[in-house]
Amino acid sequence: MNHKLFFFVFLFAALSVMDGQAFERKKYNFNSEWRLQIGDFPEAKKAKYDDSRWKAVTLPHAFNEDEAFKLSIEQLTDTIVWYRKHFQIPAASGKKKVFVEFEGVRQRGDFYLNGHYLGRHENGVMAVGFDLTPYMKEGDNVIAVRTDNNWMYREEGTNSKFQWNDRNFNANYGGIPKNVFLYVMDEVYQTLPLYSNLKTTGVYVYAQDIDVKGRTATIHAESEVRNDSREPRQFSYQVIVSDADGKQVKSFEGEKVTLKAGETKTVKAASKVGNLHFWSWGYGYLYTVKTILKDSQNQVFDEVDTRTGFRKTRFAEGKVWLNDRVIQMKGYAQRTSNEWPAVGLSVPAWLSDYSNDLMVKSNGNLVRWMHVAPWKQDVESCDRVGLIQAMPAGDAEKDREGRQWEHRVELMRDAIIYNRNNPSILFYECGNKAISRAHMIEMKAVRDKYDPFGGRAIGSREMLDIREAEYGGEMLYINKSMHHPMWATEYCRDEGLRKYWDEYSFPFHKEGAGPLYRGKPATDYNHNQDMLAIEMIRRWYDYWRERPGTGRRVSSGGTKIIFSDTNTHYRGEENYRRSGVTDPMRIEKDAFFAHQVMWNGWVDTEADQTYIIGHWNYPEKTVKPIHVVSTGETVELLLNGESLGKGKRESNFLFTFDNVAFKPGKLEAVSYNKAGKEISRYAVTTVGEPVKLKLSVMQSPEGFHADGADMALIQVEVVDKDGKRCPLDNRTIQFDLKGNAEWRGGIAQGKDNHILDTNLPVECGVNRALIRSTTQAGKITLTAKAEGLPAATVTMETIPVKVSNGLSNYLPQFTLKGRLDRGETPLTPSYKDTKRDVRIISAKAGANNPSVEKSFDDNELSEWQNDGKLSTAWITYTLEREAKIDDICLKLNGWRSRSYPLEVFAGNTLIWSGNTDKSLGYIHLNVEKPVLSNQITIRLKGNTSDQDAFGQIVEVEAKAANEMELQTKKSKSKSDLRIIEAEFLETLTE
């Protein structure tokens, strides 16, 4: 009898162990073996519907991917499409929960399992999850999704349009263009961060008490746990922190918890952890935080891996600190679609890394995703490459009320919960244009509820006078503050095609040539490469000049509009926007390298660099200007070793050499510091005649996988006998692809932009094409041919991916490594003070004295102005001490179109006289012979004159202009002196 009792006890224990093992939480790749059909098929929701003739696809897959960059954004197909998938989950004893996570559908999705309706999702942006458990069955299961990507879709129940479904900026890649995952777990489990539909918040990991120099922090983990069983369950909570190499660095536990049946509770644990590597710009160091639930027998029955990083932030005094070091924002306002030709946004994770890492390689540190929250793959990619993100919720061009505002708040809530463990997100953006103070406070409360310890600033575009905002900044204009950081949300919207070098070499594109835009010349949207790069330099100079270290009121930088050319609203000769510093295939334009030079540091230049804009292959007798971008104080140009003298300096970084006569050979730029010591050099050489094609393959560091979604990026170049790219070659390449891969191609100027065309021209000697794997592994051969050159061939082989009953364990998003190229955050200061502002303690004026303080109140939406008479157009400032003011920084109303004839006095001594420049923000009056005084008088000495200096930039004209600009338009007097901000600076000597 005792033997029998022992046997049953042993058997029960063994089954318990087996049962515990069976409930090991599993996350599956759910992208494989879907079927797609365009059109509405109501019967397709039924499990027994025959979908055998539908198109087989691997997700992510937009049904209209073929149209990406072929059609203009407003022409992208919007219709109803069905997706279906058959799957089975592995057999396991006991009860279990099954959930599905869709990273996003466009716009509306209706979801069915085995004919049962699961629910709908309507915002077209954020992830959504469903509990499949009630309708799961043994054996074959069928999930069906009806998607509707109608541009004009309105919310069911309210008939309200989602404001971000806009044909200008939110490219409509429809269907299921993002990843899908399946989860199998115990009935007691840590929830998923999918507030949409499931109303759950998942795991939250954050660090406090961060000591950057000491490399310590207290790591907190909080898991929302739910008991979906019918009985109370007791468990313990364990946290294991592992470093980037998978080595355990800390294990700690929380208190034991008992959950009633149907109860949800947040469990917590925290511990101090040492020897930490802090996530930073260009240093994507990530830890894996494993949160574990154990039963009373100490058996693990649920665990979640959260890949995250730790960093310290601060937002104050007009500046941003990362890991105790001031960083000026230098980056790109990229369309959230981040798309590629003939693919849209649905690229493999490694290609997201390739694209986002290029922003870092250009020395950019910030990507501001535009209008809608980015998809999770891009968020995680930025974590890995060390690229700071600004994450919007969803909006168009202005504040909203009623249900549309509620849409935005709900989307922000869901996006924060979904992305709050991603260290690269430093900014939450509540609007692409100013929102009200009440709305700012409401959004801030959402952040504080769901991400109170994430170290992220929440703000909006503009927010110039709303102190509750933690950052702000306008589009195009330069803002400064001594309060919350101000960085430009979009600047330099000019466009230019990569194909065009300049006016002097093939294909001889005259600067600005192109069709009219809205009936007016559009030269700013039809640049060649030379002038696009030069404009980038000039526009960045405005922000560089106001960087940290130039006084108390500073600019925190900005993001120029788009990194790569995008399938969105355009103004130039092509049907897509070409404001990028790369083309759609991420081939660099010269503007890329210009930014690389100017942005080479956290604030100040930390590594010297020089770059010659353009190439050195021209027809005989060509005489042209040469432009050099450099961090030096002077630049000398050498042609075949002979000096051509020093260049004219402009905008700090630009050096121009006029009338340089072409001679074959070597053109070299040598940069010198103030002491005349060489600090960098760069050369271009004349390339020989084309002799061959060169093929290069870029693919995932983990190999090319046969999952039907992985891709390889193929580069083709026309090169000379030494392997140098021929910069003027535009011949057509004929590609022949054989094996287990699908041609997706590239882009070039021509009919339909050559989308999906196997005859693809090179432009400036180079182009790229994408090929996509099939679900069959094998050898792939790609041959390239061109007239007059021998053929070139490259071979690849794809790696098998095991898919069992519709499920795969292959999760490439979680195995790609972080990139650590820039190293850890330096402990040294990032800038040296070059200017010191002398405080204004009082002022008096010729008129309107009660408002005189508005001219120095650190609020760019307030101003002082006189009464329109020349005799009253003066203001005298009293400074906190006597000083030799040699730099007077002003923001004058009408800054982009109005010139003021001014004279400035230190005491009674005239120190500056002239007409002010027009700008997109601040101007500087440089005093050559400063005079010691504690009083500075600014006086209007004649009539102002108005002529818009930035008339082609439609975003700052008429109704789109800044509020202060609109007030200027109403002014009828030519004797108005209107000062928004005045600062008085001393230049500091080394």
Q: Position of tokens 């699961």?
A: 118
Q: How far apart are the first and last CA of the chain?
A: 94
Before 865, cis peptide (omega within 30)?
Answer: no
Q: Are 198 and 191 in contact (CB under 8 A)?
A: yes
| CB neighbour burial string for 627-637, b if at least 16 within 10 angstroms, e if fewer | bbbbbbeebbb
CA pair distance 581, 256, nearest whole angstrom: 54
CA pair distance 543, 294, nearest whole angstrom: 54
Residues in CB range of 432: below 8 A, 6 or more apart: 370, 371, 392, 395, 396, 397, 460, 461, 489
Active-site residue, 763 included: no
Residues in CB range of 52: below 8 A, 6 or more apart: none
Q: Are 614 and 764 in contact (CB under 8 A)?
A: no
CA pair distance 267, 928, nearest whole angstrom: 66
Q: Position of tokens 């010349």?
A: 521
Distances (CA, A) of 594 to 336, 554, 600, 648: 24, 23, 10, 17
Q: Position of tokens 């950052």?
A: 471
CA pair distance 362, 358, nearest whole angstrom: 6
Q: What are phi and psi of 414, to 5 degrees?
A: -65, -40
- Got the DSSP string for 188-244? EEEPPS-HHHH----EEEEEEEEETTTTEEEEEEEEEEEE-SSS-EEEEEEEEEE-T
Please report how many Cα atoms fall inside a 13 Å half-sphere around the Cα of residue 355, on the Cβ side.
32
The closest alpha carbon to 222, from 198, 257, 248, 249, belongs to 257
Q: What's the DSSP call for residue 75?
A: G
Tokens encoding 845: 């004026």
Q: Are 175 and 105 in contact (CB under 8 A)?
A: yes
Q: Are 694 and 687 in contact (CB under 8 A)?
A: no
The closest alpha carbon to 979, from 929, 930, 928, 936, belongs to 936
CA pair distance 154, 303, nearest whole angstrom: 39
Distances (CA, A) of 205 to 241, 289, 825: 11, 8, 22
The closest alpha carbon to 13, from 276, 296, 223, belongs to 296
Catalytic residue of the set 67, 380, 490, 983: 490
CA pair distance 635, 325, nearest whole angstrom: 31
Tokens encoding 223: 């898991």
CA pair distance 211, 225, nearest whole angstrom: 31
CA pair distance 423, 455, nearest whole angstrom: 9
Q: Are 953 and 476 in contact (CB under 8 A)?
A: yes
Residues in CB range of 449: below 8 A, 6 or more apart: none
* Percent of the chain as helix, strand, coil, to the nearest 5: 15, 40, 45
CA pair distance 903, 842, nearest whole angstrom: 20
User: Quick count: other Cβ atoms within 10 Å of Cβ 67?
Assistant: 23
CA pair distance 213, 247, nearest whole angstrom: 22
Residues designated catalytic: 490
